[in-house]
Chains A and B, each alone.
Chain A
Amino acid sequence: MAKSNKPIVWGPFAAGGTVTAFVTPVLIVLTLLVSLGHLPDMLTYEKLSSFAAGWFGKLAILVIVVFSLWGSAHRLRITFFDFGVRSDTLVATVVYLAAGLGSVAVLVSLLRL
């Protein structure tokens, strides 16, 4: 029987698409406010570090970042193909590696907080 690794790639992609559909626009609005000089209370050093120190904050940040990265990486892989890049193994390695490194960086940082 033919085996496929598609479910493993597709699961995080679907989760990533859903997470980014629900929260990415509002997160961008929050940091856009910062860039325009209005710092939301939650994004001050004291508030954000105490949020990220608790288990709920750690889990929320980790879930959002990891699924956003994996969903984007998978879609980017397909998009490269659509733009005519046919070296899929190379593209897949680079995009999944970038997503993996970003995920590890966030996990390690959260555990230090």
Chain B
Amino acid sequence: MVEKVSGRRPYFREVPRTHWFLRHPRYLRYMAREITCIFIGAYTFIWVVGIVRLSQGEAAYQAFLQTLKTPSSIVFHIVALVFAIYHSVTWFNLTPKALPVQLGEEFLPDGVIAGAHYAAWAVLSVVILFLAGAF
């Protein structure tokens, strides 16, 4: 018996390993959300340094506050703020999926759950700004 040569020519969709996310706006938004962690993590290290400096006494802490005033620090803060807000928005928009609330037969509408988180976020931000004496 002669073995038939397979006529199958399966389609392999090539996926570029390093820049696959440039193919579709949805992938780009996903990556934008994922890289927020770089800025949030880097920003948290500013607090790590600040607390370490605080524990070393007033002179060390004043020097830390001075380094915050450099132009590169201002630019970093503005970029980090944009990414941090993007993370908050994407996180709160996912809350209806992560924390569905069932009332009897019905589920609480997505907008109510996400909206409650947005409202809490706004109130908490204003309270922290007020308590910190920012106004």
Contact residues of A with B, CB < 8 Å? 17-18, 20-43, 45, 47-49, 52, 61, 64-65, 68-69, 71-73, 75-76, 78-79, 82-84, 99, 102, 105-106, 108-110, 112-113
Nearest A residue to B90 by beta-carbon distance?
A21
Supposing A23-B128, A76-B38 touch, asked if A30 and B134 sit within 8 A by C-beta, the answer is yes
Interface check B6, CB cutoff 8 A: no
Which residues on the B side are within 8 Å of A47 (C-beta)? 133
Interface contact B128-A84, CB-CB below 8 Å: no
A87 to B69, CA, bound (A): 38
Supposing A25-B85, A106-B51, A109-B54 touch, asked if A76 and B131 sit within 8 A by C-beta, the answer is no
Contact residues of B with A, CB < 8 Å? 17-18, 21, 31, 34-38, 40-41, 43-48, 51-52, 54-55, 58, 61-62, 65, 68-70, 73-74, 77-78, 80-81, 84-85, 87-88, 91-92, 117, 120-121, 124-125, 128-129, 131-134
Interface contact A24-B54, CB-CB below 8 Å: no
Which residues on the B side are within 8 Å of A28 (C-beta)? 43, 77, 80-81, 84
Tell me the dominant secondary structure on chain B's binding face: helix
Interface contact B65-A34, CB-CB below 8 Å: yes
Interface contact B51-A40, CB-CB below 8 Å: no
